Structure 1
Amino acid sequence: MIIAVIDGMGGGIGAQIVSNLREELPTYIDIYALGTNSIATSSMMKSHANKGATGENAIITSVKKANIVVAPVSVVMPNSMMGEVTCGISTAVAECEALKVLLPIMPEDVEIVGLENKPLALLIKDCIKVIKKEFNIK
């Protein structure tokens, strides 16, 4: 099984996701760190992802192989993350066959109603619960 974690900017959110996935899930699960820039990829790799790749083409190619994609919801919004998310990235993520577990971390000008405002740590725990339930992982 492959979990692709996508992040941009400094990669801090992605690094926390990778670290928590590594702690909570079995070691046979591969975690791919996919950064919109090299700093994000490097940050996620330091949290013990199995593989890392950077940039639009790497993300487009890698999400096709993934069973699960974990990222902030802004990854499906072209030009988000200060322009780091290209139209190609957002389309590839939206159209890939993987289960998409998107954390409700949005750009400043986007508001999704009906969401509970939770700290990042709790969002990541919820993310892991969804993955465990969906793929029957104990």
Structure 2
Amino acid sequence: MNIAVVDGQGGGIGRAIVDRVKKAFPDINVIALGTNSVATGQMLRAGADDGATGENAIIHNMQHVDIVIGVIGILNANSMMGELSPAMASAIGGSHTYKILLPINRCHIHVVSVEELSVSEHVDNAVKALGSYLKSL
């Protein structure tokens, strides 16, 4: 089982996701995919098993992972202040992998009918969703 965590900018949300996923599921292979080297480095320091940076790395790895976790903005071209390219968004959105998306209302996306929670609570919910999905396999 390979899980990709996609993040950009400072990598803080990706770091939190990797940390909690590895604590909850230590045997699962987590790949840190950063839109920049800072984000990738943060996720690697949090315990990701492997990491890669940039457009080609994200596009390539969407063919090789089972699950993708990140903020909802990873489906939106030019999100993260332009760091997430249209090709990255297309590769992630067009991938047949199972997607667990945190409803963070940034990147010109406002998700309605979702509880206003802290980033930490959204990460906890993402890890719970991952556990439910893994049990269903």
One-letter amino acid of the counterpart of residue 16, structure 2? Q
Q: What TM-score do you get using the length of structure 1 for normalisation?
A: 0.94
Instruction: Please provide the CA RMSD for this pair.
Output: 1.2
Secondary structure at the residue paired with 2:6?
strand
Match of 1:53 in 2: 52
Partners in 1 of 2:58 and 2:67 — Cα distance? 13
Instruction: Report which stretch shifted further, 61-70 or 103-112.
Output: 103-112
Secondary structure at the residue paired with 2:5?
strand
Match of 1:78 in 2: 77
Structure 1 residue 116 corresponds to structure 2 residue 115: yes
Provide, for residues 99-129 of structure 1, a one-character-per-residue CA deviation record: whole Å limited to 9, x for no partner. Answer: 1001011325331211110111111111111
Secondary structure at the residue paired with 2:80?
coil
Q: Tell me the CA shift for residue 131 of structure 1.
A: 1.0
Instruction: Report which stretch shifted further, 64-73 or 120-129.
Output: 120-129
Q: Which runs of 5+ in 2 are unaligned?
A: none
CA contact (8 A) 2:59 2:88 kept: yes
Structure 1 residue 19 corresponds to structure 2 residue 9: no
Q: Tell me the CA shift for residue 87 of structure 1.
A: 0.5
Match of 2:68 in 1: 69
Structure 1 residue 43 corresponds to structure 2 residue 42: yes
Q: Where do 4+ consecutive residues of structure 1 move more than 6 Å? A: none
Q: What TM-score do you get using the length of structure 2 for normalisation?
A: 0.95
% of aligned pairs identical?
A: 38
